[in-house]
Homo-oligomer: A and B are copies of this chain.
Amino acid sequence: MEKNRRNFIKSAAVCTALASVGSYSLMAADATKKAEKKSGNKSVKLNLSFQEGTGIGSTLTEKLDYMEKLGIVGLEPGGGNLAARINEFDQALRGRSIHISAICAGFQGFLLAEDPAVRKQCMDTMKEILAAAGELKSKGVILVPGFNGQKPALPHTQETRNFLIEELTELGKFALQHKTTLILEPLNRGEAFYLRQVGDAASICRDANCEGLKCMGDFWHMTKEEVSDRGAFLSAGSAYLQHVHIASRKRRSMPGEDGEADNYIDGFNALKELNYQHYVSFECGSVGDKNVTVPAAVKLIREQWEKA
Protein backbone atom coordinates (compact mmCIF):
# COMPACT_ATOMS: atom_id res chain seq x y z
CA MET A 1 0.00 0.00 0.00
CA GLU A 2 2.74 2.43 1.09
CA LYS A 3 4.75 1.42 -1.93
CA ASN A 4 1.78 2.12 -4.19
CA ARG A 5 1.34 5.50 -2.62
CA ARG A 6 5.01 6.35 -3.14
CA ASN A 7 4.79 5.24 -6.74
CA PHE A 8 1.73 7.39 -7.16
CA ILE A 9 3.47 10.44 -5.72
CA LYS A 10 6.55 9.76 -7.82
CA SER A 11 4.56 9.37 -11.02
CA ALA A 12 2.44 12.42 -10.17
CA ALA A 13 5.64 14.45 -9.92
CA VAL A 14 6.84 13.15 -13.29
CA CYS A 15 3.45 13.98 -14.82
CA THR A 16 3.46 17.53 -13.48
CA ALA A 17 7.01 18.20 -14.64
CA LEU A 18 6.38 16.91 -18.14
CA ALA A 19 2.97 18.52 -18.30
CA SER A 20 4.52 21.95 -17.89
CA VAL A 21 6.95 21.16 -20.69
CA GLY A 22 3.92 19.97 -22.61
CA SER A 23 2.07 23.25 -22.09
CA TYR A 24 5.04 25.19 -23.36
CA SER A 25 5.33 23.03 -26.43
CA LEU A 26 1.59 23.36 -26.94
CA MET A 27 1.97 27.12 -27.09
CA ALA A 28 4.69 26.71 -29.69
CA ALA A 29 2.52 24.24 -31.58
CA ASP A 30 -0.31 26.74 -31.44
CA ALA A 31 1.84 29.43 -33.02
CA THR A 32 2.91 26.95 -35.71
CA LYS A 33 -0.71 26.04 -36.24
CA LYS A 34 -1.71 29.63 -36.85
CA ALA A 35 1.17 30.11 -39.28
CA GLU A 36 0.25 26.88 -41.07
CA LYS A 37 -3.39 27.92 -41.25
CA LYS A 38 -2.48 31.09 -43.06
CA SER A 39 -0.25 29.31 -45.54
CA GLY A 40 -2.88 26.69 -46.28
CA ASN A 41 -0.90 23.91 -44.60
CA LYS A 42 0.28 22.58 -47.91
CA SER A 43 3.65 21.64 -46.47
CA VAL A 44 2.51 19.22 -43.75
CA LYS A 45 4.11 15.83 -44.32
CA LEU A 46 1.96 12.69 -44.44
CA ASN A 47 3.43 9.89 -42.30
CA LEU A 48 1.87 6.60 -43.35
CA SER A 49 1.98 3.50 -41.15
CA PHE A 50 1.02 -0.16 -41.59
CA GLN A 51 0.03 -2.79 -39.06
CA GLU A 52 2.01 -6.02 -39.28
CA GLY A 53 -0.66 -7.68 -41.38
CA THR A 54 -1.27 -4.79 -43.77
CA GLY A 55 1.58 -5.25 -46.23
CA ILE A 56 2.91 -8.28 -48.09
CA GLY A 57 5.63 -10.67 -46.94
CA SER A 58 6.02 -13.87 -44.96
CA THR A 59 8.56 -12.51 -42.48
CA LEU A 60 8.85 -9.20 -40.63
CA THR A 61 11.90 -8.35 -42.77
CA GLU A 62 10.02 -9.00 -46.01
CA LYS A 63 7.11 -6.91 -44.77
CA LEU A 64 9.39 -4.02 -43.86
CA ASP A 65 11.16 -4.24 -47.24
CA TYR A 66 7.78 -4.08 -48.94
CA MET A 67 6.72 -1.09 -46.79
CA GLU A 68 9.93 0.80 -47.54
CA LYS A 69 9.36 0.41 -51.26
CA LEU A 70 5.99 2.13 -50.79
CA GLY A 71 7.47 4.87 -48.61
CA ILE A 72 5.66 3.75 -45.46
CA VAL A 73 7.42 5.21 -42.42
CA GLY A 74 5.54 3.69 -39.48
CA LEU A 75 4.85 0.19 -38.13
CA GLU A 76 2.00 -0.49 -35.69
CA PRO A 77 2.46 -3.90 -34.06
CA GLY A 78 -0.10 -5.55 -31.81
CA GLY A 79 0.61 -5.37 -28.08
CA GLY A 80 0.32 -9.11 -27.41
CA ASN A 81 3.65 -10.59 -26.30
CA LEU A 82 5.37 -7.28 -27.09
CA ALA A 83 8.01 -7.44 -24.35
CA ALA A 84 9.34 -10.70 -25.81
CA ARG A 85 9.58 -9.15 -29.26
CA ILE A 86 11.56 -5.98 -28.45
CA ASN A 87 14.81 -7.42 -29.83
CA GLU A 88 13.12 -8.71 -32.95
CA PHE A 89 11.68 -5.26 -33.78
CA ASP A 90 14.87 -3.45 -32.79
CA GLN A 91 16.95 -5.54 -35.16
CA ALA A 92 14.44 -5.55 -38.02
CA LEU A 93 14.07 -1.75 -37.89
CA ARG A 94 17.79 -0.99 -37.58
CA GLY A 95 18.99 1.26 -40.42
CA ARG A 96 15.50 1.66 -41.83
CA SER A 97 13.37 4.78 -42.25
CA ILE A 98 10.50 3.02 -40.46
CA HIS A 99 9.69 3.68 -36.77
CA ILE A 100 7.12 2.23 -34.40
CA SER A 101 4.04 4.46 -34.85
CA ALA A 102 1.91 2.98 -32.07
CA ILE A 103 1.15 -0.30 -30.35
CA CYS A 104 -2.36 -1.61 -30.99
CA ALA A 105 -4.01 -2.89 -27.81
CA GLY A 106 -3.01 -6.45 -26.80
CA PHE A 107 -3.98 -5.98 -23.15
CA GLN A 108 -6.23 -8.27 -21.11
CA GLY A 109 -9.23 -7.34 -18.93
CA PHE A 110 -10.84 -3.88 -19.24
CA LEU A 111 -10.90 -0.64 -17.31
CA LEU A 112 -14.69 -0.34 -17.07
CA ALA A 113 -15.11 -3.78 -15.47
CA GLU A 114 -17.25 -4.06 -12.35
CA ASP A 115 -14.80 -6.65 -11.02
CA PRO A 116 -11.65 -5.03 -9.56
CA ALA A 117 -9.63 -8.13 -10.53
CA VAL A 118 -10.53 -7.62 -14.20
CA ARG A 119 -9.59 -3.95 -13.99
CA LYS A 120 -6.28 -4.88 -12.33
CA GLN A 121 -5.58 -7.36 -15.11
CA CYS A 122 -5.98 -4.51 -17.61
CA MET A 123 -3.76 -2.18 -15.57
CA ASP A 124 -1.05 -4.79 -15.18
CA THR A 125 -0.96 -5.94 -18.81
CA MET A 126 -1.17 -2.36 -20.09
CA LYS A 127 1.83 -1.40 -17.97
CA GLU A 128 3.85 -4.28 -19.43
CA ILE A 129 2.94 -3.14 -22.94
CA LEU A 130 3.62 0.54 -22.15
CA ALA A 131 7.08 -0.32 -20.80
CA ALA A 132 7.89 -2.34 -23.93
CA ALA A 133 6.43 0.42 -26.14
CA GLY A 134 8.76 2.89 -24.44
CA GLU A 135 11.77 0.72 -25.23
CA LEU A 136 10.66 0.63 -28.85
CA LYS A 137 10.24 4.44 -28.86
CA SER A 138 6.61 4.02 -29.86
CA LYS A 139 4.54 7.20 -29.90
CA GLY A 140 1.93 5.43 -27.79
CA VAL A 141 -0.20 2.41 -26.92
CA ILE A 142 -3.85 2.26 -28.00
CA LEU A 143 -6.51 1.44 -25.41
CA VAL A 144 -10.27 0.92 -25.56
CA PRO A 145 -11.87 1.33 -22.10
CA GLY A 146 -14.46 -1.39 -22.72
CA PHE A 147 -15.98 -3.32 -25.61
CA ASN A 148 -19.71 -4.07 -25.80
CA GLY A 149 -19.09 -7.74 -25.15
CA GLN A 150 -17.08 -7.10 -21.97
CA LYS A 151 -19.47 -7.53 -19.05
CA PRO A 152 -20.37 -6.83 -16.32
CA ALA A 153 -19.36 -3.21 -16.86
CA LEU A 154 -19.78 -0.09 -14.74
CA PRO A 155 -22.83 2.01 -15.70
CA HIS A 156 -22.36 5.01 -18.01
CA THR A 157 -22.49 7.76 -15.39
CA GLN A 158 -20.46 10.78 -14.26
CA GLU A 159 -19.08 8.69 -11.39
CA THR A 160 -17.81 6.05 -13.82
CA ARG A 161 -16.28 8.76 -16.01
CA ASN A 162 -14.46 10.21 -12.99
CA PHE A 163 -13.23 6.75 -12.02
CA LEU A 164 -12.10 5.99 -15.57
CA ILE A 165 -10.14 9.24 -15.61
CA GLU A 166 -8.35 8.15 -12.41
CA GLU A 167 -7.39 4.86 -14.06
CA LEU A 168 -6.33 6.55 -17.30
CA THR A 169 -4.27 9.09 -15.39
CA GLU A 170 -2.41 6.32 -13.59
CA LEU A 171 -1.63 4.68 -16.93
CA GLY A 172 -0.84 8.03 -18.57
CA LYS A 173 1.69 8.85 -15.86
CA PHE A 174 3.23 5.40 -16.24
CA ALA A 175 3.41 5.96 -20.01
CA LEU A 176 5.18 9.30 -19.52
CA GLN A 177 7.74 7.68 -17.23
CA HIS A 178 8.45 5.32 -20.11
CA LYS A 179 8.59 8.17 -22.64
CA THR A 180 5.47 7.06 -24.47
CA THR A 181 1.73 7.82 -24.25
CA LEU A 182 -1.58 6.10 -23.66
CA ILE A 183 -3.92 6.64 -26.64
CA LEU A 184 -7.70 6.41 -26.11
CA GLU A 185 -9.53 5.02 -29.15
CA PRO A 186 -13.23 5.73 -29.73
CA LEU A 187 -14.92 2.89 -31.62
CA ASN A 188 -18.31 2.66 -33.30
CA ARG A 189 -21.45 1.55 -31.44
CA GLY A 190 -21.25 -1.94 -32.90
CA GLU A 191 -18.02 -2.53 -30.99
CA ALA A 192 -18.16 -0.19 -28.00
CA PHE A 193 -21.03 2.09 -27.04
CA TYR A 194 -19.16 3.68 -24.15
CA LEU A 195 -16.71 5.86 -26.14
CA ARG A 196 -17.68 6.65 -29.73
CA GLN A 197 -16.62 10.16 -30.60
CA VAL A 198 -13.21 11.79 -30.95
CA GLY A 199 -14.44 14.92 -29.18
CA ASP A 200 -15.57 12.85 -26.19
CA ALA A 201 -12.17 11.13 -25.95
CA ALA A 202 -10.49 14.54 -26.15
CA SER A 203 -12.62 15.92 -23.35
CA ILE A 204 -11.56 12.96 -21.17
CA CYS A 205 -7.93 13.84 -21.96
CA ARG A 206 -8.53 17.47 -21.08
CA ASP A 207 -10.21 16.57 -17.79
CA ALA A 208 -7.41 14.15 -16.88
CA ASN A 209 -4.89 16.91 -17.55
CA CYS A 210 -2.05 14.39 -17.85
CA GLU A 211 0.37 14.90 -20.71
CA GLY A 212 0.72 11.12 -21.10
CA LEU A 213 -2.95 10.66 -22.03
CA LYS A 214 -3.89 11.23 -25.68
CA CYS A 215 -6.61 10.19 -28.11
CA MET A 216 -7.03 9.15 -31.72
CA GLY A 217 -9.54 8.96 -34.54
CA ASP A 218 -10.24 5.98 -36.80
CA PHE A 219 -11.90 6.83 -40.11
CA TRP A 220 -13.72 3.48 -40.07
CA HIS A 221 -15.43 4.15 -36.75
CA MET A 222 -15.82 7.86 -37.51
CA THR A 223 -17.84 7.01 -40.61
CA LYS A 224 -20.56 5.67 -38.34
CA GLU A 225 -20.25 8.04 -35.41
CA GLU A 226 -19.17 11.49 -36.58
CA VAL A 227 -21.19 13.97 -38.60
CA SER A 228 -17.95 15.66 -39.73
CA ASP A 229 -14.45 14.13 -39.95
CA ARG A 230 -13.00 17.61 -39.91
CA GLY A 231 -15.06 18.72 -36.92
CA ALA A 232 -14.05 15.54 -35.07
CA PHE A 233 -10.30 16.00 -35.54
CA LEU A 234 -10.49 19.72 -34.75
CA SER A 235 -12.44 18.81 -31.60
CA ALA A 236 -9.40 16.87 -30.39
CA GLY A 237 -6.88 19.43 -31.59
CA SER A 238 -3.11 19.24 -31.66
CA ALA A 239 -3.02 18.95 -27.87
CA TYR A 240 -4.65 15.53 -27.79
CA LEU A 241 -4.73 13.95 -31.26
CA GLN A 242 -1.89 11.42 -31.29
CA HIS A 243 -2.80 8.79 -33.88
CA VAL A 244 -5.14 8.09 -36.80
CA HIS A 245 -6.41 4.81 -38.27
CA ILE A 246 -7.62 4.51 -41.82
CA ALA A 247 -9.65 1.89 -43.75
CA SER A 248 -12.22 1.84 -46.52
CA ARG A 249 -15.48 3.29 -45.28
CA LYS A 250 -18.00 0.57 -46.05
CA ARG A 251 -16.19 -2.72 -45.41
CA ARG A 252 -13.06 -1.76 -43.43
CA SER A 253 -11.03 -2.88 -46.41
CA MET A 254 -8.17 -1.14 -48.25
CA PRO A 255 -8.90 2.56 -48.81
CA GLY A 256 -10.28 2.84 -52.33
CA GLU A 257 -11.95 -0.57 -52.35
CA ASP A 258 -15.26 1.06 -51.43
CA GLY A 259 -15.08 3.53 -54.30
CA GLU A 260 -16.36 7.05 -53.81
CA ALA A 261 -17.20 6.39 -50.17
CA ASP A 262 -13.47 6.39 -49.49
CA ASN A 263 -13.06 10.12 -49.29
CA TYR A 264 -10.79 11.33 -46.47
CA ILE A 265 -10.14 14.87 -47.73
CA ASP A 266 -12.33 16.61 -45.16
CA GLY A 267 -10.51 14.87 -42.31
CA PHE A 268 -7.07 15.35 -43.89
CA ASN A 269 -7.85 19.05 -44.19
CA ALA A 270 -8.20 19.19 -40.40
CA LEU A 271 -5.01 17.17 -39.86
CA LYS A 272 -3.10 19.62 -42.03
CA GLU A 273 -4.63 22.56 -40.21
CA LEU A 274 -3.50 20.99 -36.91
CA ASN A 275 -0.01 20.56 -38.37
CA TYR A 276 -0.44 16.87 -37.49
CA GLN A 277 3.00 15.28 -37.15
CA HIS A 278 1.95 11.77 -36.10
CA TYR A 279 0.90 8.78 -38.21
CA VAL A 280 -2.01 7.78 -40.41
CA SER A 281 -1.99 4.02 -39.92
CA PHE A 282 -3.77 1.32 -41.92
CA GLU A 283 -6.10 -0.90 -39.89
CA CYS A 284 -8.03 -2.88 -42.44
CA GLY A 285 -8.28 -6.03 -44.49
CA SER A 286 -8.41 -6.35 -48.27
CA VAL A 287 -11.15 -7.74 -50.46
CA GLY A 288 -9.09 -7.75 -53.64
CA ASP A 289 -5.54 -8.93 -54.40
CA LYS A 290 -3.23 -7.07 -52.04
CA ASN A 291 -0.57 -6.76 -54.73
CA VAL A 292 -3.04 -4.37 -56.35
CA THR A 293 -5.08 -2.94 -53.49
CA VAL A 294 -2.25 -1.95 -51.13
CA PRO A 295 -0.26 0.24 -53.57
CA ALA A 296 -3.54 1.65 -54.93
CA ALA A 297 -4.61 2.59 -51.38
CA VAL A 298 -1.31 4.31 -50.65
CA LYS A 299 -1.58 6.24 -53.93
CA LEU A 300 -5.19 7.26 -53.22
CA ILE A 301 -4.38 8.50 -49.72
CA ARG A 302 -1.41 10.52 -50.95
CA GLU A 303 -3.50 12.12 -53.69
CA GLN A 304 -6.26 13.02 -51.24
CA TRP A 305 -3.71 14.42 -48.77
CA GLU A 306 -2.43 16.73 -51.52
CA LYS A 307 -5.96 17.86 -52.31
CA ALA A 308 -6.83 18.55 -48.65
Contact = CB atoms under 8 A, between A and B. Distances in A.
B227 A231 contact: no
A196 B155 CA distance: 17
A206 B227 contact: yes
A240 interface: yes
Contact of A199 (B161, B231, B239): B231
A236 B235 CA distance: 11
Contact of A236 (B161, B203, B231, B236): B231
Interface residues on A, range: 20 to 34
B227 A235 contact: yes
A10 to B, nearest CB: 29
Contacts of A193: 157-158, 161
Secondary structure of the A side of the interface? helix
Interface string A210-228: 0000000000000001111
A137 interface: no
B227 A203 contact: yes
A178 interface: no
A227 B239 CA distance: 9
A120 interface: no
A235 B155 contact: no
A200 interface: yes
A157 B193 CA distance: 7
Contact of A234 (B197, B202, B225, B231): B231
Contacts of A202: 227-228
Interface string A153-167: 001111001000000
A228 B237 contact: yes
Contacts of A237: 227-228, 231
A200 B203 contact: no
A119 interface: no
A231 B241 CA distance: 13
Given A203-B226, A226-B235, A227-B236, 15 more contacts: A156-B156, A157-B193, A158-B193, A196-B203, A197-B199, A199-B228, A199-B232, A199-B235, A200-B200, A203-B225, A206-B227, A227-B235, A228-B234, A228-B235, A232-B235
17 contacts: A155-B156, A158-B189, A161-B193, A196-B203, A199-B231, A202-B228, A203-B225, A226-B235, A227-B235, A227-B239, A227-B240, A228-B235, A230-B234, A231-B233, A231-B234, A234-B234, A234-B235
- Top 7 A-B residue pairs of the complex, sorted by shortest distance between their CB atoms: A231-B235, A231-B234, A156-B156, A202-B227, A199-B199, A158-B193, A206-B227
